[in-house]
Amino acid sequence: MSRRAEATFVVMVVLVSVGAAADSHFVPRLVGQDIYHAHRALKKLGLASRFEQVETDTATVPLFFVASQSPDSGAVVHSGDTVALRFNHPGMLRYWNASVIPVLGDFENTVSFYKVQKPPQPIAMEPAGYPPDLKQYSFSGSADVEALVDFDGAVLAARVVRSSGYEAADSSACASALRASFTPAEHYGQPVRVWFPLPYHFQFKEDKALPDPAKQGRDPTEPER
């Protein structure tokens, strides 16, 4: 190989190596950050976020803050890779939808529903489904939920503020709140996030199609009349 060809080959190898390195990133340290800004840091690097709630109460980590991450900081990843962010929320709502946009750590633009100048208005709402497992208890009751309405009216999260006393009913109420949509709230002409109160009621109803006791005790070999 001539010196000219050899030099061209070396340059090509260097270019390929630089291109491969441009796709690589060191995972930043995200533990201790709120999950909103941690998510933004990963997004800037072209990395995806996956959110997991910490099952045990880590009292040293504030609400909606990253308690641990995987892979850990300093690990080499590539664009498009996923980093798991495990966040802490003592007393977290019994229902958590992983597809909910995780901006819960950004409270800077959140205004109290009772103070906001122009509150959000419901566009699409649906009642909470009655949990079949609670029929055996003849359960009737209610659960008070709050939905976090985003700048565009989408619901980012839901939380229980007054429990029904049953996990299944609370989860059904939160699931319904997450599917709602609103017009966005405004405060001094600026869009803001608002926790919107939503009461849900559950009414027990007897099944109408009860089996006929006479037919239940009928001899199966006996012809029907």
What's the domain range around 108? 93-205
For 121-154, b where at least 16 C-beta lie within 10 A, e where not — what string?
A: eeeeeeebebbeebeeeebeebbebbbbbbbebb
Domain count, the chain: 2
pLDDT (tens digit per residue) in 133-157: 999 999 999 999 988 888 888 887 7
Cα 131 from chain centroid? 21
- What Å distances lie between residue 210 and 186, 205, 207, 214, 215, CA to CA? 52, 12, 6, 12, 11
CB atoms within 10 A of CB 46: 13
Q: Is residue 211 part of a domain?
A: no
Question: Which residue reads 């060191």 in tokens?
Answer: 26
Mean pLDDT of 209-215: 55
**Residue 203 and residue 131 in contact, taking contact as beta carbons nearer than 8 Å:** no
> DSSP class of residue 132?
G
pLDDT (tens digit per residue) in 154-195: 887 777 888 898 988 988 888 888 788 899 999 998 888 888
Q: Are residues 200 and 140 located together in one domain of the fold?
A: yes
Q: Are residues 108 and 56 located together in one domain of the fold?
A: no
Q: Are residues 74 and 171 located together in one domain of the fold?
A: no
Q: Are residues 87 and 101 located together in one domain of the fold?
A: no
Q: Are residues 63 and 139 located together in one domain of the fold?
A: no
Q: Which of 46, 45, 44, 38 is nearest to 84 (CA)?
A: 38
pLDDT score at 143: 93
pLDDT score at 96: 45
Q: Are residues 84 and 97 located together in one domain of the fold?
A: no
Q: Is residue 135 part of a domain?
A: yes
pLDDT (tens digit per residue) in 88-140: 764 444 444 443 434 454 445 577 788 899 999 999 898 999 999 999 999 99
Q: Is residue 219 part of a domain?
A: no
Q: Are residues 43 and 137 located together in one domain of the fold?
A: no
Q: Is residue 216 part of a domain?
A: no
Q: Is residue 223 part of a domain?
A: no
For position 135, which CATH number holds?
3.30.2420.10
Q: Are residues 103 and 187 located together in one domain of the fold?
A: yes
Q: Are residues 71 and 105 located together in one domain of the fold?
A: no
Mean pLDDT of 28-32: 92
Q: Are residues 82 and 101 located together in one domain of the fold?
A: no
Question: Which residue reads 């080959």 in tokens?
Answer: 9
